[in-house]
Homo-oligomer: A and B are copies of this chain.
């Protein structure tokens, strides 16, 4: 058979990880701290039914929902992004610079279409989100890891690596990062934006968790410090509305937006209309504030139980993050525990049956880094199951240290 393009080879390793994860999440007999899906209780099912029922009675909106639509997205929804989601976070922008995408990953794909030639370097956090790495590798980019600490990516190391590798792009998840749950400090946000401008590098700010904060105070996005248009902000409706709707958005300057239009048109023409209209209406009818409070309360409880359970059941010497929001915490286990090896037992042993994501998968360095770490999701698991799962997992880990 015909030979596949080179990119299918460069993406093979990360694609295999993603395939594995998609498979592993579907075993109903497992308590899964593995997935990144929102709680089903956080999905606005009744609201969506009501809205759909209404809009499909209005002839004009019904036609709009089912007919071809604009490449840039539904105007209402773009206005909501500007006025309801970005302005309150300190980002002022025009509707013309906001494009609606099919989920929050599509902007990552589109930005690669715009900028990445094979062999180009993308700087990423260490660790970073594996699904984005899959995209970068499909575009035959070379991912180089930049140091992180509890305050996020380290600007000094970032500057050194920008100078050394001359990257096309820096990929940062600044808030409640996937996988660590860490948040980039305000001062560093400013510095990252400045480095983009100073060295003429695109800063791709991927910020899907920022709107679900359970403690601490909001920080300005990196984009708020961008004075030259080098920062491009990608976000998603998956955590605040619904992931199955596949809705996200990207904010960029005029020059980049014009090219995003072309790349989107050549990817899938435009994003599905009905979900866009329903989501716009969800905000316009004023449902968001109460829904937002409900989901933050729900996740705050789960986070607190998860943290409490880890502290209680995981062995001494475990380090874990305390995320002020988002869906993940990150645990670093005492030396000698290999989380990649442990996973088979933790999911396969009928006395345990608990899943997580092994830390190694999130490091692009590929030298076994992070093999004593695990990403632990609490968003999609009911409180009682969090307690049971963390206890079982903690006991399994402890048994390995004896």
Contacts and interface: CB of A to CB of B under 8 A. Distances in A.
B53 A261 contact: no
A109 interface: yes
A151 to B, nearest CB: 27
Contact of A244 (B66, B115, B267): B66
A273 interface: yes
Interface string A29-67: 000000101101001111011001100110100111111
Given A8-B114, A275-B274, A138 B263 contact: yes
Interface residues of A, number: 84
Nearest to A273: B244
A65 B131 CA distance: 22
A114 B5 contact: yes
Given A1-B230, A63-B45, A67-B43, A11 B52 contact: no
Interface in A56-115: 56-57, 59, 62-71, 101-103, 105-106, 109, 113-115
B114 A68 contact: no
A5 B116 contact: yes
User: How many identical chains are in the complex?
Assistant: 2
A272 interface: yes
A354 interface: no
A275 B274 CA distance: 7
A35 B246 CA distance: 26
A201 interface: yes
Interface stretch (A15-23, A157-165, A390-398): A15-23
B117 A6 contact: yes
Contacts of A274: 48, 244-245, 274-275, 278
Most buried by B among A19, A229, A247: A19
Contacts of A120: 5
A372 interface: no
Interface in A263-287: 263, 265-275, 278
A5 B272 contact: no
Contact of A275 (B6, B15, B272): B272
A200 B3 CA distance: 10
Contacts of A246: 102, 268-273
A2 interface: yes
Nearest to A137: B266
Contacts of A242: 66-67
A45 B19 contact: no
Interface string A335-356: 0000000000000000000000
Q: Which 6 A-B pairs give the minimum distances between C-beta atoms?
A: A49-B56, A244-B273, A45-B62, A66-B242, A15-B262, A43-B66
Given A2-B169, A131-B266, 10 more contacts: A1-B200, A35-B68, A49-B57, A53-B53, A65-B244, A135-B266, A138-B262, A246-B268, A267-B267, A275-B275
